[in-house]
Amino acid sequence: MRLATAEINIPALRYNLARVKEIAPSSKVMAVLKANAYGHGLVKIAQCLSDADAFAVARIDEALALRAGGLTKPIILLEGFFDPSDLPILLANNFETVVHDESQLLAIEQSNLEMPISVWLKVDTGMHRLGIEPEQFDDFYQRLKQCPNVKPAVNLMTHFPCADDVSNDFTQVQIDVFASLVSDRREALCLANSAGVIGWPDAHFDWVRSGLMLYGVSPMLDQVGVDHQLKPVMRLKTRVIAIKQVNVGDRVGYGGRWQCQKATILAVVAMGYGDGYPRHARQGTPVVIKGKRYGIVGSVSMDMISVDVGENAAHIQVGDEVEMWGPTLPVEEVASCADTIPYELLCNVTPRVSYEYCNDE
Ligand SMILES: *Cc1c(COP(=O)(O)O)cnc(C)c1O
């Protein structure tokens, strides 16, 4: 019998990609697959996204794993390359690189490449993480254009730090800065992450880069996937492995952090931080058993969590399935109970969890 399992709903994944295209109908879609496709399984997810126009990853190893898995679509390296010696690997595997720093530009200019490489010049319009300053744009752009190692179309990119909040004007400021820089260029422009897709139609341009929303999760503050007609792709589930009666005054779990105030029954479920469930989930963070929500009690252990199923829990038995997050319990909600974001919970699912890819709705 399988315990901790991530059930991956492939039709929901495909549906979410169709939603991206419906929301941004004039844009091509880069499906963002970094961090093991946000914990969903890199190659498997890529194989099911045949309708995407390209894939995007953060690291070269992720891109190589896609090629090793037989995937032939364009792959964009969102952080670019890290050393001049990476360049032949990029060329041999037909990877496109972001250029966000002078060291990368120099490496490309000074290399002796057999073929030109496809480049995305990344401009920092206000996130102050990766990207060249707007004042450097003309210099970088001209140098890339003139460099024989670079394919003639120099694509352009920027990234949003606050697009999840539609009341924050900063995203519009970034769109305007970017648009003014690139006004007379004919190259492909790419600005929007998932929050840009949903919240900022002016940011769609030629390409969008969607990650989180493909997995059916809301990128917008205080909303869940269904608010945007997205369908959660992952259902993280396990089973009840013990039932225990506790009485007033009993302390439960490591550190005895939860004390029983009223006699009740606990269901012990096989899921813990060793599976990627957040150890900081608050007392009362919900799980779903037999269609009903119950709250966790005590500290999350490596392999187990206790759930207060109430004094009238005779219908709950060893072997019952427990949903930790998924279609009936949004991962956004669990994330907020653990003071984190759904991105982190999804990425943190560990290799101990088994994956089941389901092709029926
Ligand atoms: C991760 C990432 C994305 C995707 O973001 P989502 O919010 O998951 O859509 C887009 N662009 C860059 C540069 C990223 O690093």
The reported pLDDT for the residue numbered 185 is 73
User: Cα angle vertex 249, ends 247, 255, to 5°?
Assistant: 110
d(CA 209, CA 75): 12
The catalytically annotated residue of 21, 34, 122, 231 is 34
The Cα–Cα gap between 164 and 322 comes to: 31
Please report the pLDDT score of residue 361 as a whole number.
Answer: 66
What is this structure's pTM? 0.97
Confidence of residue 214 (pLDDT cuts 50, 70, 90): very high
Q: How far is CA 314 from CA 245, 263, 265, 317, 318, in A?
A: 11, 14, 9, 7, 11
Q: Which residues 6+ apart lie within 8 Å of 117 measured at CB? A: 87, 90, 91, 96, 97, 108, 149, 150, 151
**Contacts for 128 with CB less than 8 Å, ≥ 6 apart:** none
- Catalytic annotation, pick one of 122, 237, 254, 290: 254
Taking the centre of ligand 1 as the mean of its atom positions, its distance from the CA of residue 254, in whole angstroms, is: 37
Cβ neighbours around 336 below 10 Å, total: 15
Decide: 212 in ligand 1 pocket, CB within 6 A: yes
The CB of 78 under 6 Å from ligand 1? The reply is yes
C-beta of 193 in contact with ligand 1 (< 6 A)? yes
User: Ligand 1: does its nearest atom lie under 6 Å from the Cβ of 36?
Assistant: no
Pocket test for ligand 1, best of 16, 29, 32 (most atoms within 8 A of CB): 32
Residue 231 Cβ contacting ligand 1 at under 6 Å: no
The predicted pLDDT at position 45 comes to 98
State mean pLDDT over 15-31.
Answer: 98
254 flagged as catalytic: yes
Residue 249's pLDDT band, with cuts at 50, 70 and 90, is very high
For range 327-332, the mean pLDDT: 98
Report the Cα 300 to chain-centroid distance in Å. 24
Alpha helices in 111-188 (DSSP H): 137-146, 170-181
Closest atom of ligand 1 to CA, residue 213: 9
Interval 160-206: pLDDT, tens: 999 999 999 999 999 999 999 988 777 899 999 999 999 999 999 99
Domains of the chain: 10-218 (3.20.20.10), 234-358 (2.40.37.10)
Residue 89 has pLDDT above 70, yes or no: yes
What's the confidence (pLDDT) of residue 212? 98
Nearest-angstrom CA–CA distance, 237 and 5: 5
Residue list, annotated binding site: 129, 302
Q: What is the pLDDT of residue 187?
A: 85
Residue numbers in the known binding site for substrate are: 129, 302
Residue 102 has pLDDT above 80, yes or no: yes
Residue 344: is it exposed, middle or buried by C-beta count within 10 angstroms (0-12/13-18/19+)? middle
Smallest Cα–Cα separation from 341: which of 351, 326, 350, 330? 330
Q: Which ligand 1 atom lies nearest to the CA of residue 122?
A: 13
Q: Is 15 a catalytic residue?
A: no
